[in-house]
């Protein structure tokens, strides 16, 4: 028996008390609500057996006269490091079983330390949010016999992390106040359907302030935030949410000083798929499945979409080309004809910033008729959001390649195909471009002639026939207005070759981006 045996036994006792979390009754309630405990969540998202806890003894302790522990309440935040798919990561999680995550049960320095360790070690940060995540309760006023000017401890670190390492946030229950802010201060966020809510203040405070009676789901559930961009993705279960975070991180480097990770690809980079020949309808008024095109040109099964339920005229996500991670964005003609809406601009801006921050080459599949138009689009401030997107496109320094699938019109279309110098782009034979689409453009340009014509229908048909003869992309290629018109089946090989060349230049660009990530 060692002379230090009493201390070692006492240490084991402390760890056993901490493992009880908020007590069996509260743990049972957590599970009855369909939620894992914080320690179960950490074990599920990390590789088995790799968790190394930090601050395992922190908590509020009441001692008896003899120095023995009379009462022990662990802090409601568990933090440490481990590995995800063999790569180091920091993880910090709220324990809802201890006062619902409120600050009066936490030791905020531990949370800040965990985030600071992510910065120091230059490894990704994963937040498991459940509760106020550091927010306070008015009960603290009576306990402390004073109020306080509200601080934001650690938010300086959180802001810096966005420029340095991948940050993921999972909303795994009601996430309120500071917790909601921590959810959106991330590169990737996910909610669990039927389990999660995110809001600045909960229903009781909302009812007091605005006399609005709402449930937690009506206020900040998946139906609210999946469609407005507050969170990126939705998962049907906690297990699926963990898998989404794992997959997101698999495309990204550990930090901005490292290259994105290359993996072996079982997909032939020279694969030619005949389905691409009929992917774009000849009738320009018909829509098509842009996600099918994405799947056919990137490595099979590699496309990971981000933000599918909002900004729907834009499709964005991560993929691989011959094993090399890239960002992919595309217009979706099924929504607004692919035109850039206000929220579509915001979604694309955030994605461009993500690729710029972590040095992911960016592929753009373009079918862009321009900015969304009309009174609703103007009221939404589309052109202001569009200006931010244009700035992001021209500010980015990562390699950029545009494939013009169909339309490229106006300021919005031009930004997507002209933001790289020299332009790296090709067009399919279905390419159609100009300052304005002919459909509608003829009426604008020949308004007076059509109004004065004895047969406006015949005149319009005659004008359309004349214009149709010159709208072929081959005419543009003859004047070197487009660098190359290609067989759609060659798209994958061209993109894979470009990605390989792009990665040769990336080491020169490592480090923080010039403007940082805009959450």
Token couple for 326 = 């890239």
Token duo for residue 199: 């809001």
Token pair in block for residue 62: 């009441």
* Domains and their CATH numbers in the chain: 36-56+75-250 (3.90.226.10), 274-431+485-509 (3.90.226.10)
**Positions of the chain with pLDDT lower than 70, given as ranges:** 1, 100-106, 132-139, 436, 438-441
The torsion angle over the Cα atoms of residues 138, 142, 147 and 153, rounded to 10 degrees, is -60
The answer to whether 368 touches 339, Cβ cutoff 8 Å, is yes
Q: Please, which contacts does 418-425 make with residues 24 or more away whose CB atoms are closer than 8 Å?
A: 419/390, 419/393, 419/394, 423/483, 424/399, 424/400, 424/498, 425/401, 425/482, 425/483
Q: What is the DSSP string of 56-77?
A: TT-EEEEE-TTS-EEEEEE-SE
Give the sign of the dihedral formed by CA 338, CA 339, CA 344, CA 348. positive
How large is the C-alpha radius of gyration of the chain?
27
**Structure token pair of residue 378:** 């103007």
Place of tokens 């320094």: 397
Q: Are 108 and 153 in contact (CB under 8 A)?
A: yes
Residue owning tokens 């795994």:
172
Which residues are registered as beta bridge partners of 65?
A: none
**CB-CB contact of 212 with 206 (8 Å):** yes
Query: What tokens were used for 396?
Result: 């980015």
- Would you state the pLDDT for residue 150? 75
CA neighbor of 518 nearest in space, from 184, 129, 31: 184
Question: In sequence order, what are the beta bridge partners of 233?
Answer: 190
**Interval 78-113: pLDDT, tens:** 999 999 999 999 999 998 888 765 555 557 788 899
Residue 246 CA from chain centroid, whole number: 13
Question: Looking at the DSSP assignment, which residues form a beta bridge with residue 361?
Answer: none
Q: What is the pTM of this model?
A: 0.92
Q: What are the pLDDT digits (tens) for 196-247?
A: 999 998 888 888 888 999 999 999 999 999 999 999 999 999 999 999 999 9
Calpha distance 210→199 (Å, rounded): 15
Q: How far apart are CA 54 and CA 48, in angstroms?
A: 17
75-102 burial, b at 16+ Cβ within 10 Å, e below that, comes to bbbbbbbbbbeebbbbbbbbbbbbbbbb
Cα separation of 498 and 401, whole Å?
8
Q: Which residues of 36-69 are buried (b: 16+ CB within 10 A; e: fewer)?
A: bbbbbbbbebbeeeebebebbebbeeeeeeeeee
What is the pLDDT, as a whole number, of residue 57?
Answer: 83
CA 189 vs CA 168, 170, 253, 513, 519: distances in Å: 6, 6, 18, 21, 11
**What is the rounded CA–CA span in Å between residue 495 and residue 499?**
6
Cα–Cα nearest to 475, from 426, 431, 438: 431
């Amino acid at each position: 028996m060692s002379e230090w045996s009493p201390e070692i036994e006492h240490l084991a006792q402390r760890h056993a008390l901490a493992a009880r979390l908020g007590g069996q009754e509260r743990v049972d309630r957590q599970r009855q609500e369909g939620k894992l405990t914080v320690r179960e969540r950490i074990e599920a998202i990390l590789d088995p057996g790799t968790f190394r806890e930090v601050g395992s003894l922190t908590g509020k302790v009441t001692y008896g006269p003899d120095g023995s522990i009379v009462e022990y309440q662990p802090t409601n935040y568990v933090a440490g490091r481990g590995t995800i798919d063999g790569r180091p990561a920091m993880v910090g999680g709220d324990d809802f079983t201890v006062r619902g995550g409120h600050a009066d049960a936490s030791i905020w320095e531990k949370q800040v330390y965990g985030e600071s360790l992510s910065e120091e070690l230059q490894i990704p940060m994963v937040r498991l949010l459940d509760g106020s995540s550091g927010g306070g309760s008015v009960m603290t006023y009576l306990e402390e016999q004073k109020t306080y000017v509200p601080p934001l401890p650690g938010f300086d670190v959180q802001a810096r992390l966005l420029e340095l390492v991948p940050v993921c946030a999972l909303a795994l229950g009601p996430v309120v106040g500071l917790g909601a802010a921590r959810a959106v201060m991330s590169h990737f966020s996910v909610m669990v359907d039927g389990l999660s809510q995110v809001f600045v203040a909960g229903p009781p405070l909302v009812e007091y302030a605005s006399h609005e009676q709402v449930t937690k789901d009506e206020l900040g559930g998946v139906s609210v935030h999946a469609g407005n961009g507050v969170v990126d993705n939705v998962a049907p279960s906690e297990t699926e949410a963990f898998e989404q975070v794992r997959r997101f991180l698999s495309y990204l480097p550990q930090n901005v000083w490292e290259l994105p990770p290359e993996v072996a690809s079982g997909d032939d980079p020279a694969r030619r798929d005949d389905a691409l020949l009929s992917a774009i309808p000849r009738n320009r008024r018909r829509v098509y499945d842009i996600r099918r095109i994405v799947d056919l040109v990137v490595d099979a099964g590699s496309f990971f979409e981000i933000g599918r339920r909002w900004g729907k005229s834009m499709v964005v996500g991560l993929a691989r080309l011959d094993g090399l991670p890239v960002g992919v964005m595309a217009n979706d003609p099924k929504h607004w004809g692919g035109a850039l809406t206000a929220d579509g601009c915001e979604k694309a801006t955030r994605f461009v910033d993500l690729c710029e921050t972590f040095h992911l080459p960016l592929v753009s599949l373009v079918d862009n008729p321009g900015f969304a138009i009309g009174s609703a689009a103007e009221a939404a401030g589309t052109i202001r959001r569009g200006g931010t997107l244009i700035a992001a496109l021209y500010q980015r320094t990562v390699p950029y390649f545009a494939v013009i699938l169909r339309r490229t019109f106006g300021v919005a279309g031009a930004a997507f195909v002209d933001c790289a110098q020299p332009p790296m782009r090709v067009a399919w034979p279905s390419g159609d471009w100009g300052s304005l689409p002919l459909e509608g453009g003829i009426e604008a340009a020949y308004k007076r002639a059509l109004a004065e014509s004895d047969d406006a229908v015949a005149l319009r048909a005659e004008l359309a026939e004349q214009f149709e003869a010159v709208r072929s992309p081959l005419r543009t290629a003859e004047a070197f207005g487009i660098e190359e018109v290609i067989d759609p089946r060659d798209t994958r090989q061209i993109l894979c070759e470009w990605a390989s060349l792009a990665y040769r230049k990336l080491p020169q660009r490592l480090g923080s981006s010039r403007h940082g990530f805009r959450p």
